[in-house]
Amino acid sequence: MLTEQEQFERIAMPHLAALLRVARRLASEPASAEDLVQETMLLAWRGFQGFEPGTNVRAWLFRILFNAFYGEGRRAQRAQEWMSQRPASHSPASTVVDAKVQEAVEIAEALQALATEQRSVLLLCVVEGFTCQEAAGILNVPIGTVMSRLSRARQELRTRLAPLAKEAYR
Amino acid sequence: MTDDELDQRVRASILSEELDTAPLERSIRARMSKRWMPRWAVAMAAGLALIVAGGFAYRQLFGSRTPPVCVAAARDHSTEVANGLPREWLSDVPAIQSLAVKHGIPAEAITALHATGYRLERGRLCFLKNEIFLHLVYTKGDEVFSVYLRRRDPEKGFGPSIRETSFDTEELAYFQTNRLTAVFVDEQSKEEALAFARAGLNSFTVAAL
């Protein structure tokens, strides 16, 4: 017979990497991302009694993560952190030896340049594989909003990554 | 670049990143089980445990096991809802939310409870043990529930676990989250009160309340 904590760990811990991956692209620095994931997991653990077994635990955890991120009081602080954050400089002179590394840097910068709302939708739908309907539930917005944010995010990324695409297809 | 090509590049780039979650996992497990404590904290915890045990023994011998605020909530539900005393209630959700915010309860709490599938009928402020609570009346089918909300009060002494109790004919379930104290009351059915409290706790959890 598993204890409640063991049950929680068994169903929630496998999603830690996915939560951290998304948190790192929401928060301004790795330490804030880890704090956000810790906060999410502890909130989930405290509210585990209310979790309905058999429902989508991954979507449940991501909802908590995004609500914690957008939570009252933190919104302004995180926005400020975000504003003060300088994207990693990437000049032509930088010594990038590997094309894949260069592409990863370009994509990371293009992602960070997106508005948080667009980035959130892109991370959920494109990277984490949630449907638009599921992303709408996680972000607590209508599905139409998710679809339009996703479309705008793709358009923006495409513009920013266009030089890279030319390189790739040259 | 098509949408599929773009998605594939972004996905491949992000998923190729190596993440070491082991330290984070260890830290979460430690905070969940709270196994690690410095000596002074152990001594303090032991002292606290003695006080709590003493208080518990006192309550077992001389007091009611139902927290006073729950007794007050059961009485209020019986008077105001079951017996339907004529009172002024608000039925407009934004007006109820605005009333909540004035008293330190986040408006999201009302939205979160709405997501449980129970129907909000009306709301008003009330006093339970000289403290202001937001009294909300919900229905589901023929069942009528009262939910009493107040911002978290550490002195209440109840935590995130849902507890149940009864007083007269009222069945109650109650808990505290990081930000809220919540008491759910239903006449007759303990299961219904617990089910609503579980749904409420889940909604508050996902809303990070």
pLDDT in tens, B59-95: 555 555 788 899 999 999 998 898 877 788 999 999 9
Tell whether the model's pLDDT for residue B41 goes beyond 70. Answer: no
At B145-193, the pLDDT tens digits run 999 999 887 766 677 789 999 998 899 999 998 889 999 999 878 999 9
Q: Determine, for residues A9 and B29 on separate chains, whether the beta-carbon distance falls below 8 Å.
A: yes
Question: A94 pLDDT band (50/70/90 cuts)?
Answer: very low
Tell whether the model's pLDDT for residue A26 goes beyond 70. Answer: yes
CA dihedral A164, A170, B2, B8 (to 10 degrees): -60
Which residue in B9, B21, B160 is closest to A47 by CB distance?
A: B160
Check if the beta carbon of residue B1 is closer than 8 Å to that of residue A158. yes
Task: Look up residue B75 and give its two tokens.
Answer: 């009485």
Q: What is the reported pLDDT for B139?
A: 93
Check if the beta carbon of residue B106 is closer than 8 Å to that of residue B209. yes
At B155-167, the pLDDT tens digits run 666 777 899 999 9
**Chain A residues whose beta carbon lies within 8 Å of the beta carbon of residue B114:** none
**Chain A residues whose beta carbon lies within 8 Å of the beta carbon of residue B199:** 50
Query: What are the φ and ψ backbone dihedral angles of B164, each rounded to 5 degrees?
Result: -125, 155
- Whether ipTM tops 0.85, in short, is no
Total-model pTM: 0.65
Q: Which ranges of A27-142 does DSSP label H, i.e. alpha helix? A: 30-46, 57-69, 74-84, 99-112, 116-122, 132-139
B199 CB near a chain A CB, below 8 Å? yes
Q: What is the reported pLDDT for B63?
A: 53
Q: Determine, for residues B205 and A44 on separate chains, whether the beta-carbon distance falls below 8 Å.
A: yes
At A31-73, the pLDDT tens digits run 788 999 999 999 999 899 888 888 899 999 999 999 988 875 4
Q: What is the reported pLDDT for A164?
A: 60
Q: Which of A101, A127, A160 to mutate to test the interface with B (most CBs of B within 10 A)?
A: A127
Query: What are the φ and ψ backbone dihedral angles of B127, each rounded to 5 degrees?
Result: -105, 125
Check if the beta carbon of residue A44 is closer than 8 Å to that of residue B190. no
**Mean residue pLDDT across chain B:** 85
Q: Which of B8, B10, B174, B177 to mutate to test the interface with A (most CBs of A within 10 A)?
A: B10
Between A151 and A109, residue with greater pLDDT:
A151
- DSSP assigned state of B116: T
Tell whether the model's pLDDT for residue A77 goes beyond 60. Answer: no
Compute the nearest-CA separation of A159 from chain B (Å).
10
Tell whether the model's pLDDT for residue A128 goes beyond 50. Answer: yes
User: Which of A51-65, A97-111, A126-140, B94-108 is predicted least confidently?
Assistant: A97-111
**Mean residue pLDDT across chain A:** 82
Q: From CA B119, how far away is CA A163, in angstroms rounded?
A: 54
Q: Determine, for residues A21 and B17 on separate chains, whether the beta-carbon distance falls below 8 Å.
A: yes
Q: What is the reported pLDDT for B61?
A: 54
Which residue in B6, B21, B32 is closest to A154 by CB distance?
A: B6
Q: What is the reported pLDDT for B175?
A: 92
Buried b (16+ CB within 10 A) or exposed e, B132-165: ebbbbbbebeebbbbbbbbbeeeebebebebeeb
Tell whether the model's pLDDT for residue B105 goes beyond 60. Answer: yes
**Chain A residues whose beta carbon lies within 8 Å of the beta carbon of residue B197:** 50
Q: Determine, for residues A42 and B28 on separate chains, whether the beta-carbon distance falls below 8 Å.
A: yes
Task: Look up residue A147 and give its two tokens.
Answer: 């679809």
